[in-house]
Structure 1
Amino acid sequence: MDVKNAIKYMVLSTLAFACMNATVKYLKNIDTYQIVFFRSLSSLFFTFGFLLKNKIPIIGKNNKLLILRSITGASSMLLFFMSVKYLSIGTAVALRYSAPIFAAIFAVILLRERIRPVQWLFFIISFVGIIVLKGLDTSINTTGLILVLIAAVLSGLVYIIINKIGKSEHPAVIVNYFMVTATVLGGVLSIKNWITPSGTDWFFLFSLGVFGYFGQINMTKAFQIASTNIVAPLKYVEVVFTATIGVLIFSEVYTLYSLLGIALIIGGLILNVWYKSRVKL
């Protein structure tokens, strides 16, 4: 187990994702459908290249589940990007990370999995964070909150679908299906809403896929060389990086209630990861 390198890879991953989030915020004058289109299209260069280089079949076996995962994931990404237009990026990312709460609910209902009472306590802590954000922080936009929570629900459903797919599909095949679907969805919806990007906007649009790809690659490397209980909590550093970028570049302001709400959301989720790593469920 190489803890030092795992931490390095995870920090690089969260930084890449934070840069992607900030880029979405920067492109506020570009239609969200276009952002989804370019983010996915630029990632396809990496996924298709990997599949072709390693001679991995592109189609896959579980086509229905792969398509369902792709549609659900693409919809979640679209709604999250929309929410960034209304919320500070750190808050949006923290709320998106509430997905494991919904994944646990889906797991109980659809997979008949067992969730221990203490885990529900941790999820309640995170949910209280959401209530604090909306109930006490008057700066939180209701439209943005609804969009990002629906995105989190769909993201939670994605976890369940991937669990059903299991190891029968190569991870690159799953990601490639997702990117193809998101490219088509974003492209079709962009037709009537097209805004011609400026010179610099083109660069930032295509950088979305690069940031997303390198974030995913470094995260995968981290999980491959160290235990989950060490690596998984580090992914929430993305919230810190993203919020910092929001303050420094976009002059975003986080109230005391915002910080408290974000801390409760992330704290509850980290506690759940820590607990699962020590108890066989």
Structure 2
Amino acid sequence: MKNKENITKGWINGFLGVVIFSGSLPATRVAVLEFSPLFVTVARASIAGLLAFALLWLFKEKRPVRSHAASLIVVALSVVVGFPLLTALALQQVSSAHSIVFLGLLPLATAVFGVLRGGERPRPAFWLFSIIGSMLVVGFAFSQGVSASINGDILMLAAVIVCGLGYAEGAKLSRELGGWQVICWALVLSLPLMLVISIWLMPSSLTDITLPAWIGLAYVSVFSMLIGFIFWYRGLAMGGIASVGQLQLLQPFFGLALAAYLLREPVSPLMLVTTLGIILCVAGSRRYAKPSAQ
């Protein structure tokens, strides 16, 4: 009964993480219009790292042991540096809408690394639902008339692979350190280098930067880089990496729904039908996944 309750809590935390992450790519897209991709990467890591340091100091958290070092380095290189940098570079060449094609593959990548790094063994039916869900997202993105960019596509594909590894590795470590502690220690580990590079790459004149760019940078620094991961890693650790990871299939549609609400953009029947199909695939994935023992 307790295990079932933990799984439910894991899905709730994972859902909150996905909602927060849904604004990441649009916010990055806005930020890189006026900041360089490398500066956005190191600045968001620096801001989040300073906040993470404050949290660890405030709660007097114990330092990780030596056996945690390798996993923390993987998390730092993948989700703190790798994914933000690769997506920032890609979004200079492709639109946020085009990136949906690759976000549709992220749950599948997370599930694969959940098997390789987390020791999970989902049933065959899980993979069927996961692949169908990914294809629905990719198919929907292509139906919107996305334009191709070979360099941008390669960067986004690399970002998806790196991110899937970081999600699985962080979730595995969260079972020992705790979800928020993992992302905080990874950020603190990266902080000295990120802070030095941020100061070095800082634009010579900040007065020319518009408010939307600052808001975009603030969002990816505080929410995408820190708060979202607190919920996400806890969710993956409690509910299962492969299973909860399928919630990412809903991320593009949260972004579209937000645009419809704030910008009064129309919601097409195809979007509603595809979203329903995604929800069914996520439910099927949950039914046939086998989370690791909690």
State if a TM-score over 0.5 links the two structures.
yes
Partner Cα distance (2:47, 2:280) in 1: 34
Aligned-pair distance for 1:38? 2.2
The answer to whether the Cα contact below 8 Å between 1:125 and 1:264 also exists between their aligned partners in 2 is no
Q: Measure the CA separation in 1 of the matches of 2:157 and 2:228.
A: 23
Tell me: CA distance 1:21–1:124, structure 2 relative to 1, closer, same or farther (3 Å): closer
Tell me, yes or no, if structure 1 residue 103 matches structure 2 residue 116.
no
In the TM superposition, residue 178 of structure 1 has moved relative to its aligned partner by 2.9
The 3 A distance-change label for structure 1 pair 195 and 206 is: farther
| Mean Cα deviation higher: 185-194 or 35-44 | 185-194
1:13–1:153 distance in 2 versus 1, CA, 3 Å: closer
- Select 2:54's aligned residue among 42, 49, 54: 49
For 2:158, the aligned partner's letter is I
The aligned counterpart of 1:34 is: 39
> Are residues 175 and 110 of structure 1, via their aligned partners in 2, closer, same or farther at CA, if it must alter by over 3 Å?
closer
Deviations 1:151-181 (A, max 9, x none): 1111221234235535332433321233245
Q: How does 1:183-194 map to 2 (within 5 A)?
A: 183=191, 184=193, 188=197, 191=200, 194=203
**Of 264, 269, 272, which aligns to 2:285?**
272
Deviation of the 1:55 alpha carbon: 0.9
1:70 aligns with 2:76: yes
- Percent of aligned pairs with the same amino acid: 17
2:123 pairs with 1:116:
yes
Q: How far has the Cα of 1:239 moved from its partner?
A: 2.3
- Asked whether the 8 Å contact 1:90–1:242 carries over to 2, the reply is no
User: Would the aligned equivalents of 1:129 and 1:263 in 2 still touch at CA under 8 Å?
Assistant: no
CA distance in 2, matches of 1:38, 1:119: 38
Distance between the aligned counterparts of 2:265 and 2:156, measured in 1?
18
Counterparts of 1:134 and 1:199, CA distance in 2 = 30
Higher alpha-carbon deviation: 192-201 or 255-264: 255-264
Find the counterpart in structure 2 of residue 25 from structure 1. 29
CA displacement 1:50-107 (0-9 Å, x = unmatched):
2111111245431122112211222022222333344443553563352231233345
Structure 2: give runs of 5+ residues left out of the alignment: none
Instruction: Using structure 1 for the length normalisation, give the TM-score.
Output: 0.70
In 2, the alpha carbon distance for the partners of 1:250 and 1:30 equals 24
* Correspondence list, 1:87-236, <5 A: 87-89=94-96, 92=99, 95-96=102-103, 98-109=105-116, 113-129=120-136, 132=139, 138-142=145-149, 143-162=151-170, 164-165=172-173, 167-180=175-188, 183=191, 184=193, 188=197, 191=200, 194=203, 196-197=205-206, 198=209, 200=211, 201-202=213-214, 204-212=216-224, 213-217=226-230
Letter aligned with residue 53 of structure 2: F
Higher relative contact order (CA 8 A, sep 6+): 1
Tell me whether 43-52 or 138-147 shows the greater mean CA deviation.
138-147
Task: Identify unmatched segments of 5+ residues in structure 1.
Answer: none
Cα RMSD after superposing both structures: 4.7
